[in-house]
Structure 1
Amino acid sequence: MHIIKRRYVDTMQGLGGLGPFADDVDAPRESDPYGWSRWFASLFAIYETDRMITLDLPWWNVAATREIADFLGARGNARVFEYGSGASTVWLAQRCGEIVTVEHDKPWLDKFQRQTKGHDNVSLLYRPIDNGPDAYVKAIDEFDGEFDMIVIDGRHRSSCLKQAESRLKRGGIVVFDDSGRSRYRGAIEGSALKETRHFGRSYCVPYPDYTSLLRHGER
């Protein structure tokens, strides 16, 4: 399965640099971010964060992305914490007041030192997990106060969700990506937060996938 996935990624990245596909990858940012054209372009940008940033897209479910954008637009100067850096880091930085992102992979994070240059509202944290996940999972507790949004899209997601629950501002949301994976369902369903589960067209992949939004229930 890993070999098939690797071949698919290599093929799509290769096609992304050829002829008519190159134009799709560099589709104008003014086009509908939730439309089929921008989604199609994202297929050739899989694991290519520079291209995803050019397209101004995160690697999430399309419907969930629309809801998140609406939330941030209505929230104004939102404060965001993100487990797992990616194209979403820049996408969020352009829509929130402050974002703190924690990453366990140093070479991957080093790339984002360049990609987030010019975004003064981004704080990048390196917390390795070689000796256990605690420093990574508990990185959120290095900061005072609550967050309007917490994104869980990296390692040890179940533990991150448990850690995040008490740090979420009332009325805020937790974005839990790849929430259809069986290993995450117990943590999500056992959470004190209420889940809205989006399934369907997702950026970068040709198959439908899940992104869940979790909120505090009614008082």
Structure 2
Amino acid sequence: MRIFKYSASYFRFACFFFITEGDLKILWYALRYFYRCLKLYNNPAHNCILDEKPWMSFPVIKFLEKIINNDFRVFEYGSGGSTLFFSQRVKELVSVEHDRNWYQVVKEMLANRGCININYKLVIPTYTDHYDHALVSIPDAYISADDNSVGMSYEDYSKTILAYPDNYFDLVVVDGRCRPSCMFHSLNKVKVNGFLLLDQSERKYYLEKMESYFKESDWSKVSISGPLPYSLHFTKATFFKKK
């Protein structure tokens, strides 16, 4: 009975996402990864931390495994399974986290695994009197649409990457809070032929004010949609490659 109930919900989400995004590959990926999703869903033996995987769709993880190598320098906004994943595969990893409790959890796991190629930073948001939810898409507003972030500014968090030279990182992963601001400050930090990855790019407001910065003459773009492990949902990620 469980498999029928899960199947109905899973493919309903797949069809909805296909209608919304209009990408036929979504239906192919829904079929391809169905049994893997079923195995992981509500399974206490699996989550992104235990499996040391980014909490991103299966085809996005596969694409990441294809492009990264042990000479890569990676910066990520938002930590977790992705931090463990990258720390085993790249030369240098810088990860910034906004949540103090989650930071301690991931920091302990990194220490237990003896990871020495990572600079893990805690940069908590600050209070602001200028919070306006209508401004979440504007890069220099430094605010997040997350309910727990009301009244908070993520300016310090978003600007963490500015401590590094231009053209330094092979990959910047934007998968935390205040994503338009994080993308904006990352543009010059990506190497030629490097990537900027925006996860959950189906949320249109992330790119509403940022799309104009990714000119076709300077960046190529590929979006990948698919099922999200440990859940019933489907997500899209967009890779921008600097020319």
Q: TM-score, normalised by structure 1?
A: 0.74
What is the CA deviation profile of residues 80-139 of structure 1, one whole-angstrom value per residue up to 9, with x for unaligned ones?
A: 000011111101111111111011111110111111111111111111112322210110
- State the partner residue of 1:174: 196
Mark the CA change 1:105 to 1:56 in structure 2 (over 3 Å): closer, same or farther. closer
Deviation (angstroms), 1:168 = 0.1
Structure with more relative contact order (C-alpha pairs < 8 Å, separation 6 or more): 2
Question: Helix, strand or coil for the counterpart of 1:51?
Answer: coil
Task: List aligned pairs for 1:95-114, cutoff 5 A.
Answer: 95-114=89-108
Greater Rg, structure 1 or structure 2?
2
- State the partner residue of 1:19: none
**What letter is aligned with 2:41?**
L
The 2-side partners of 1:42 and 1:162 are apart by 35
- State the partner residue of 1:123: 119
Aligned 8 A contact 2:54 2:81 in 1:
yes
The 2-side partners of 1:45 and 1:98 are apart by 32
The 2-side partners of 1:199 and 1:100 are apart by 26
The 2-side partners of 1:123 and 1:94 are apart by 14
2:222 to 196, 203, 206: 196
**What letter is aligned with 2:42?**
F
- C-alpha RMSD over aligned residues: 2.2
Aligned 8 A contact 1:64 1:212 in 2:
no
Count residues with an aligned counterpart: 180
**What letter is aligned with 1:133?**
Y
Deviation (angstroms), 1:209 = 1.2
The 1-side partners of 2:43 and 2:156 are apart by 31
- State the partner residue of 2:88: 94
Deviation (angstroms), 1:216 = 1.6
- State the partner residue of 1:149: 171
- State the partner residue of 1:7: none
The 2-side partners of 1:45 and 1:163 are apart by 38
Deviation (angstroms), 1:41 = 4.0
Q: TM-score, normalised by structure 2?
A: 0.68
**What letter is aligned with 1:202?**
L
Unaligned runs of 5+ in 1: 1-33
